[in-house]
Every structure is written in structure tokens, then in C-alpha cells.
Amino acid sequence: MVKLFEKYEYLEGLYYSKDHLWAKIEDGKVRVGLTDFAQQIAGKIRFIRLRPSGVKVEQGKTLGTMETGKWVGPLVSPLSGTVIEVNGDLRMKASLVNEDPYGKGWLSVLQPTNLDEELKTLWTDLNKMKPWLEQEIAKYVKEK
Amino acid sequence: MSKQEWRWLDLGALDPVDTQVIYDAVSVARGRNLVKDTIIFCYPVSPLVCIGYHQEVEKEVDIEVCKRFSVPIVRRILGGGAVYLDGDQLFYQIVVSQKNPMVPPQVEDAFKHFLKGPVEAYRSLGIPAEYRPINDIQVKGRKISGNGATTTVDGVFVLTGNIILDFNYDMMVKILRVPSEKFRDKVFKSLQEYLTTAKRELGLLVSMEEAKKVLLEGFERTLGINLQRSHLTPEEKQLMQTLREKYLSDEWLFMPEHRHPQLVKARVVKVATGISVVESAYKSRGGLIRVTMEIKEAKINDILISGDFWIYPTDALPKLEQTLKGATIDEKAINDRIYAFYKAHNLQSPGTTPEDFTKAILMAAEGEAAI
């Protein structure tokens, strides 16, 4: 189910980090990506560079980078784990993240190492997330 | 409200690689809370070619030419395209914690805020510069400063740019990898037209000392901060040493795992905001169509069509090029102009249809759209 906060789409059943990435549990593995809010705020994404398969990433550390206009920003991993798959389509077409952030624009799949503990630090109840998200929207979208 | 105290590092002429290592090192130190918010001034003791973080070096830069001129190629942590940097440019590098309430959350707002300093500096020199979204400073429609930014995972915002006292257009064009000499000529002309310098605007070369003075005042006045002259800490020097090794490694410069699996068929050089030179090679049944084009504000500003296709009458091409100038980059708009031209001049091009020309033009423009 898609839920709209203003013009930003969120899917029920996913986990969300304060760094605006989503995580989806798939048979004990975790697929991660950028939220619709983050891609809308970022604007057209020109490049995505992801840490390759086999690399261990920590929650809150860099999973990769993205470039929009003349700005490079970090993609902050929502969970700790080992990268087991990266979305190769983003190399040629990073704007898939803009077009389909929860689908074709996924970033990486992780084999999580501390899933149960770390999931507690993410939002999954969209109603509980709402007040924080409203603050974020106010922060990034003011006077536009 | 009392003014914020920032650190000012006036480092003078640095080794060319260090001009890009320095702000990386300072941003790490800032992220660890070892130093205050900082603005660095420096310039390279000898020229360098600096490529954007996500670029592929061989696609953008003629490595052989760089070797011949002993110009090192350095990958920066910031975005954007390949640039030629030398000692006629004063670099400013702003390293500030995102927690500082002065830093706007939106990148465009941050550029606008921090570029007030350089804009003021140019004005103090008598050049009516203004900010142009997202990341340029311009004077009378011409770019006079290039800027890029990043946010680190430790929450540090870094913005770098340059006060361009003078610019070596010739070297800039030499170091770029281009598909044809025609393309190179076009990039050269576009750069000359849309990139200006303090020297060109004033008719004289401003000294580095004068530039530093007005830039320092510009930042202090527009940001409402005090810049206290300081020096690198031992930790920062240590960080620089470690990072320098990384910057000089093949893994960093070539980023082998980041190769794109297939070569794009179009080549793009962005000259300034809204202005690009693009080229494509499109294979029609009647032969190859090569389109070299300057795009300005999503319109064809100038276009050159060449290739080995047949066209009669043989003198029709320059007129077709003329017809296309000013056309919006849009399939229908371009197609309509080409069709009308074919009809008016009774044009014949065996094996090459009017749509082929449109496709070649759109293919070149697509490369631009990807930027």
C-alpha cells in the first residue's frame, strides 16, 4: 500500500531510516533504496556509485554516493551487513532512482549482520514516522 | 548576536594534488570535531587537471596530452566535470559542519548563501558579478567561477570554487578528450564566449594578494563571520599524508569497479549553466551523420552537420544548419524544420531520411540531458 505525505510516496511494510533510505526484508536479506522524498529533494540524480558485493557496511556509514548537479552526497546505509548484490542498471541510468525509487531504482541487497537490533532504530509504522517526516519536509521544502 | 569565529587557512601555493587533498583532510578533521568551521585559500604551484568524483578519466581527459605537459590528473571528492586548474585561479574551500545553523539544508540554498562571498569579491574588483543557480557566478551572462559541493557521511558540508583571474582556454581544450577536431574547435569557441575571467573583464591582471584580500572581506561581510588566520593541525597534516597516497593510487584515479559497461555514443562538455557542446555519431543507411552542436537554454544555438552521407544539392548543408539554429530540442520541432527545408529546397539524400537527422540531433542532445 502506498501512503502519501504531501506529494511524497511511502510504502507500507518497509523500514525507513533518518537518512531517508528504505529497507525491505526479503527472506532474511535486505534490499535498500532511497525514499521518494529523498529523490524528489535531490532532483535529477546523475550518478550513483555503490560499494561492491562482498564489502561490509555499517549502519550509518556509507553504502555509496550520488551526484546531482554539482553536489555529491553520501548514501547512508540503514543497516549493517555485507553487500551481496548491487543494482548494475544504475551505472548507466542513475535516474532510475528518480523514476522508480521503490522498484527499478533499488540500490543494494545486504546480508544483514545485526538485523533484529537495528530494525528497532528504523521506522515501520508510518503514522509514528509522520511527525518527524513533517519536520523534514518543513526543513527541506521551506519557501519553495 | 555575536559573530561566529571561523578558521582561515591561507596556504598560498600548494602542490597541485594537495589543492584537492587539503579540503578532504580538513573535512575529516571537522567531522571528528578536531577543528572549527574553516575556509581555505590556496592555488596550485603548477597546473593540474581535476575530474569530478563520478567521472571516468579516460572518457573525459586525454591522458597522453597531460603526460606530455606533465600535468597531473586528480579525482576530486566533488561533482561536476573535468577542469584545467592553474595558479591564475584562487581557490576557496569552505568546510563547515551541517550543524552550523548557517548551512541551509537544501544544496541550492547552500550554494547561494556561500557564494555571496565570491560575488562580493568580484564586485569589489569592479566586476558586476551575480549568483546564478545552481552553482555558478556570472557576469553579463558569462560564467566567471566554477563551484562544486559535497556532504560527507560525518555531516560536513564542503563547497569549493575559484576566483578566475586568468584562464588558459587553449590548455583546457587540449586536455579534454574529444571525438573530433570540429568538436574541439566548438568547445574552444564556446568556452571563450561563455567563460570569462577577471582579466578579460577589467583589462588587467589582478594580483593574487588583491584577490585574497577582497575574497576574505567578501566572506566575512556576507556571512557575518570573523575569519581568524590559523594553520593546519598535526592531525590534519597526518590526514593529508594518508589521503595523498589514496589520491595518487590507480584505484582512486581510475575507479576500475565503476566502469560503465558500454560507451555512450554521444559526447558532452558542459561549458556553463545552460550551455553545452555535444556531439553524436548516428549511422543512417546512407552513411554516418555526425552532429556537433551548441545547446543554449534547451535550444540549438549553433550546429555543424558532417559525415559521409549523400545530399543533393551539395551546398544544402550549411543552409540546413542555418535553418536549425534556434530550434527547441524537441522531436516535433526539429522534424518540422527539417521537413520544411527538404520541401523548399527539393532535397535528396539517398539512404538518409529527414528523421535520421532528427535522430542524430536528439541523440547528441540526450547526452546533454543526462547531465
**pLDDT for B144:** 98
Say whether A70 and B153 touch across the interface (CB within 8 A). Answer: no
Q: Which of A68, A92, A140 sits opposite B260 (nearest CB)?
A: A92
- Same domain for B222 and B182: yes
- Same domain for B339 and B196: no
H/E stretch holding B163: strand B156-164
Domain boundary among B206, B241, B258: B258
What percentage of residues in chain A have a pLDDT greater than 90? 90
Q: C-alpha grid cell for residue B193?
A: 564566449
Q: Which of A46, A52, A62 sits opposite B153 (nearest CB)?
A: A62
CATH number at residue A16: 2.40.50.100
Residue B124, domain extent = 4-258
Helix boundaries (H) for chain B:
18-31, 57-60, 63-68, 107-114, 116-124, 169-175, 181-194, 198-202, 208-223, 234-248, 250-254, 316-324, 331-345, 354-369
* pTM, rounded to two decimals: 0.86
**pLDDT for B348:** 87
- Same domain for B93 and B140: yes
Residue A30, domain extent = 2-129
**pLDDT for A81:** 97
Domain boundary among B258, B286, B321: B258
Question: CB within 8 A of B38, min separation 6: which ones?
Answer: B6, B7, B8, B9, B26, B30, B94, B95, B96
Q: Check if B258 contacts A (Cβ < 8 Å).
A: yes
Lowest model confidence (mean pLDDT) among A50-54, B42-46, B198-202 = A50-54
| A136 lies in some domain | no
Burial of B339 (0-12, 13-18, 19+ CB in 10 A): middle
Which chain A residues contact residue B147 at CB under 8 A?
70
Within 13 Å of residue B232, how many CA atoms lie on the same side as its CB?
A: 23
Q: Torsions phi, psi of B23, nearest 5?
A: -75, -25
- Same domain for B250 and B311: no
| A65 lies in some domain | yes
Domain boundary among B197, B227, B258: B258
- Same domain for B150 and B21: yes
Helices (H) and strands (E) in chain A, counts: 5, 11
- Same domain for B225 and B307: no
- B263 has a pLDDT exceeding 50: no
**pLDDT for B371:** 47
Which chain A residues contact residue B152 at CB under 8 A?
74
Supply the DSSP symbol for B258.
Answer: G
Which chain B residues contact residue A95 at CB under 8 A?
370
Burial of A142 (0-12, 13-18, 19+ CB in 10 A): exposed
The domain total for chain B is: 2
CA distance B327 to chain A (A): 24
- Same domain for B290 and B248: no
CATH number at residue B358: 3.30.390.50
Asked if the bond preceding A74 is cis, omega within 30° of 0, the reply is no
H/E stretch holding A117: helix A115-119
- Same domain for B313 and B188: no
CATH number at residue B221: 3.30.930.10
Asked if the bond preceding B134 is cis, omega within 30° of 0, the reply is yes
Say whether A88 and B151 touch across the interface (CB within 8 A). Answer: no
More confident residue, A34 or B369: A34
Say whether A71 and B107 touch across the interface (CB within 8 A). Answer: yes
- A144 has a pLDDT exceeding 60: no
Band (A141; pLDDT cuts 50, 70, 90): confident
pLDDT in tens, B339-358: 999 999 988 888 899 999 99
Q: Are strands B275-284 and B266-272 parallel, antiparallel or unpaired?
A: antiparallel
| A140 lies in some domain | no
- The CA distance from B365 to B360, in Å, is 9
The domain total for chain A is: 1
